[in-house]
Structure 1
Amino acid sequence: MLYTDGTAPQEDKEGSDTPEGCQVAKDSDPSLRPHEFPEGGLAAWATTFGAFLVQLCGFGYTTSFGVYQDFYTQHYLTNETSSAISWIGSLNTFLVTAVGLISGSLYDRGYFYHLVIAGSLLQSFSLFMLSLSKPDQYYQIFLAQGIGLGIASGLVYVPSIAVVSHYFRRRRTLAMTFVASGSSLGAVIHPIMLNNLLNGRLGFGNGVRASAGLVSVLLLIACLCMRTRLDPPITPANYITAARKCIRDAPFLFAIAGGLFFQTGFYYPLFFFQLDSIKHGLSITFSFYSLVILNVSNCVARVTSGFIATFTGVPNLIIVATISGGVLTLGMIGLSSLASVVVLGVMYGYFAGLYIAMIAPLVATLTPDLSELGARMGICFFISGFGSLIGTPISGALLTSNYIWWIPALFSGVS
């Protein structure tokens, strides 16, 4: 039998010169018994906290693109259509998951520290480059925010989630949902900060630089906190082999297909909710906080999802979340008042949070061999990520310059 790190159990040798007390101490140290999981401790929770910060700065920043969508549409890229602008955010989102195909494989081969350090440096660099972009220079923003920031977040996304499995088995879902809540907290902090900076005295350049400074500091703390515990497997998971196993794994295939369709419509509220509120005559101040309302509810969902999943099971909970998210997206057709924004924001944010929080635990649940966890996460996130790539540009094209809101809402809700 092999352990998750690829090693075999060692039998105790009789007549060992090791004193009995030292032997007991050695056996009581979880770090020296890789087949057993600490389920806690300083290193475990420090790593979990570091992964939480990575999600806050990575996916949390990506899902705050609704602020940029509104700002670019009305002020900074006025010559571009909503669909063209949404390509920046959708490519960013797609690369976060698509690059996971590479970072997941490298993670399985023991390159965890290389990935998180390189990803953190690239994310900081990309944000500072974004701050130097000029008005109506679409290609500059597309390169820095769409491509650079997307690749950077993708390098750290899968490793920061998967490393938690080094320390937890019984409490893995709870730990992973805590990590996932980092992105929703980031999606609360970043919109508040960006709306006040971009539309305030600092303007675009200095506002983005201030945001980049905060992200850089948090990523530095994350890199200092996270540590691996298990050695990489002797024979790393092969993507071709893992893919062949996935083809014969019906539940895993349905999970991927569901993720693909759901992510096609998932980001429409996140990208267009603030702009939708403004165009329906709500006050600009309140509209700035519409995304915050959605993401606060999203954060609550991610924190509580681990506890709910212990009673419902991960697959059941994610099914409820996807159905409810689709129905509520259709409900955006009726958005017209302050009350409707609050109700839709709270309810959609909660079920969207349940969905995001359950993706990683679902993949872990459907992975019989943990040595393939990085590969399976990469495959799942890569394929389902195509939904996020095409979803919002299609929604933006359906919206048109006349802002016909019911068409993209119908498309996204049905997806």
Structure 2
Amino acid sequence: MSTPSSSDEIAKQAPESVSKFVEGVGNTSLVDTSDALSFPEGGFTAWGTVLGALLIQFCGFGYTNAYGVFQDFYTQTYLTNSTPSAIAWIGSVNAFLGLSVGIVSGRMIDRGAFYPVMKIGCLLQCSCLFMLSLAKPDQYYQIFLSQGIGSGIAIGLTNVPSFAVVSHHFQRRRALAMGIVATGSSLGAILHPIMLNNLINGRLGFANGVRASAALSGGLLVIANLLMRTRLPPQPKIVSYTRVLQNSSRDGAYICACVGMAAFEFGYFSEAFYLQLDSTLHGLSQGFSFYSLTILNSGSFIGRLTGGVVAGYVGIPNTTIVSSLTSSAALFAMIGLHSAASVAVIAVSYGFFSGGVIAMMGPLISHLTPEFSHIGARMGITFAISSIGSLVGAPICGVVLTSHYIWWKTAILAGSVATGGCILFIFMQVILKMRQKTSSVYSKEAGV
């Protein structure tokens, strides 16, 4: 459960002139509370929406986070004529579009088009997975078009709306609700690798294995669409992205958060894409290597679920900082990967703390957004910026890795960039603290 900051209480008590002044200096901790009393904070529809959004994440980024299975399979079996870096581009483009298309889907839900966007995205996602099953060995472009571009666009259409619709039902418990939704991608990243490894490398083979996973995703997406419900009417006056961008460009805390998330995504997808391949090439058993991603994402599931609870006590920014710092250290620890025990420790540690960061992405943007009507647009912009890290992270690490598989260079690069993101989160918190102090001082001078 999230607790309001002291600046929120000041904003509620301050006269209009004080509120306008504080907003003028860019105090992003202020939240539009005009509808606060009308938020249900629970009930069948609200929690049903959370469950539906969780299923969207399960089938969307849960599948993207399982790309390490495909990275391993393509590198050693299906796309042997392509380099690890080229193969990584398939998954990174998928992740990039899954985040960046949110700038469009976020805009559409502000216009009240939640249901059409979700239906189109879910239908496209199932279609692209079935098209992937038709791809032939060493036909790179077929896999790139279906899995990289098509599936990426589909995930992008559903990702931001699945988070934003939760904000229709929760305010006080928003961090917890969004944290639960974020666990959906972890659950997907736990179960999809198990299923894909056993189906693709088992009796069914690549084509039928992918079709089976597509059928599962299709059924779950139908259930998700039946569960999710909007509550608030479309904005009477649609806020332009130009206005949101202008306001955001003057918000130092928000800029630090966006760039910090991009740096975090750089390291996150490098770990998710290469962990199974790393384990396999270090001589570990195939059975254990197949479950390395499951171990990582099991830790991520616990971290995402815990992050929303912890944030209610220590605050969303503090939770983000600590989680990003520890997950960066785990990336550096990849240098010492050589045994099953080291893989398990690194995977659990990185999964848990990186999951905490991911769970805070939605709540953090809500925390930094002064106007409720801007949440959809700001989420879209933030995910679009952070998607740059997911786009270039794994391919650049693949170039550094080379065909000789120099793993320590990849670990240092990913860890360094992720550490830079943590430093930016610290700057974000410093800016917020300074604004909070300025708000308190001015309120006292105004006699509030």
> Could you tell me the TM-score, scaled by structure 2's length?
0.85
Q: CA deviation at 1:34?
A: 8.7
Q: Give 2:122's match in structure 1, choosing from 120, 123, 142.
A: 120
| Match of residue 64 from structure 1 | 66
Q: CA deviation at 1:35?
A: 5.7
Q: CA deviation at 1:84?
A: 0.1
Q: 1:384 is paired with a residue of what secondary structure?
A: helix
CA distance in 2, matches of 1:218, 1:154: 17
Contact 1:34–1:230 (Cα < 8 Å) also in 2:
no
CA distance in 1, matches of 2:44, 2:259: 38
| Match of residue 51 from structure 1 | 53
| Match of residue 109 from structure 2 | 107
Q: 2:38 is paired with a residue of what secondary structure?
A: coil
Once the two structures are superposed, the pairs formed by residues 2-401 of structure 1 within 5 Å of their partners are 36-401=38-403
Q: CA deviation at 1:324?
A: 1.2
Q: Which amino acid aligns with 1:329?
A: L
| Match of residue 13 from structure 1 | none
Q: Which amino acid aligns with 1:207?
A: G
Q: Which amino acid aligns with 1:379?
A: I
Q: CA deviation at 1:233?
A: 0.9
Q: 1:349 is paired with a residue of what secondary structure?
A: helix
Q: Which amino acid aligns with 1:179?
A: V
Q: CA deviation at 1:303?
A: 1.0
Cα-to-partner distance string for 1:169-208 (whole Å, 9 max, x where unaligned): 1111110000000000000010000000000000000000
Q: CA deviation at 1:128?
A: 0.1
Q: CA deviation at 1:56?
A: 0.4
Q: Which amino acid aligns with 1:236?
A: I
Cα-to-partner distance string for 1:299-349 (whole Å, 9 max, x where unaligned): 011111111111110001111111111111011011001110010011000
| Match of residue 8 from structure 1 | none
Q: Which amino acid aligns with 2:416?
A: V
Cα-to-partner distance string for 1:236-263 (whole Å, 9 max, x where unaligned): 1210000011011111011011112221
Q: CA deviation at 1:60?
A: 0.6
Q: Which amino acid aligns with 1:257?
A: V
CA distance in 2, matches of 1:260, 1:270: 15
Cα-to-partner distance string for 1:68-112 (whole Å, 9 max, x where unaligned): 000000000000000000000000000011000000011111010
CA distance in 1, matches of 2:263, 2:344: 26
Q: 2:398 is paired with a residue of what secondary structure?
A: helix
Q: Which amino acid aligns with 1:138?
A: Y
Q: CA deviation at 1:405?
A: 0.5
CA distance in 1, matches of 2:307, 2:95: 23
In structure 1, the gaps of 5 or more residues are 1-32
CA distance in 1, matches of 2:283, 2:109: 48
Contact 1:364–1:373 (Cα < 8 Å) also in 2:
yes
C-alpha RMSD over aligned residues: 0.9
CA distance in 2, matches of 1:249, 1:386: 20
Q: CA deviation at 1:164?
A: 0.4
Instruction: Tell me which stretches of 4 or more aligned residues in structure 1 moved more than 6 Å.
Output: none
Q: Which amino acid aligns with 1:148?
A: G
Contact 2:36–2:171 (Cα < 8 Å) also in 1:
no
| Match of residue 7 from structure 1 | none
Contact 2:60–2:155 (Cα < 8 Å) also in 1:
yes
Cα-to-partner distance string for 1:261-307 (whole Å, 9 max, x where unaligned): 22122211100000000100100000000000000010011111111
Q: 1:180 is paired with a residue of what secondary structure?
A: helix
| Match of residue 4 from structure 2 | none
- Which stretch shifts more, 72-81 or 245-254? 245-254
Contact 1:318–1:355 (Cα < 8 Å) also in 2:
yes
Q: Which amino acid aligns with 2:341?
A: A
Contact 1:39–1:167 (Cα < 8 Å) also in 2:
yes
The number of residues matched between the two structures is 383
CA distance in 2, matches of 1:237, 1:215: 34
CA distance in 2, matches of 1:322, 1:237: 32
Percent of residue pairs bearing the same amino acid type: 57
Cα-to-partner distance string for 1:330-376 (whole Å, 9 max, x where unaligned): 11011001110010011000011001000000000001111110100
Q: CA deviation at 1:403?
A: 0.7
Q: Which amino acid aligns with 2:325?
A: I
Cα-to-partner distance string for 1:125-162 (whole Å, 9 max, x where unaligned): 00000000000000000000000000000000000100
Q: CA deviation at 1:168?
A: 0.6
| Match of residue 23 from structure 2 | none
CA distance in 1, matches of 2:264, 2:158: 23
CA distance in 2, matches of 1:266, 1:54: 20
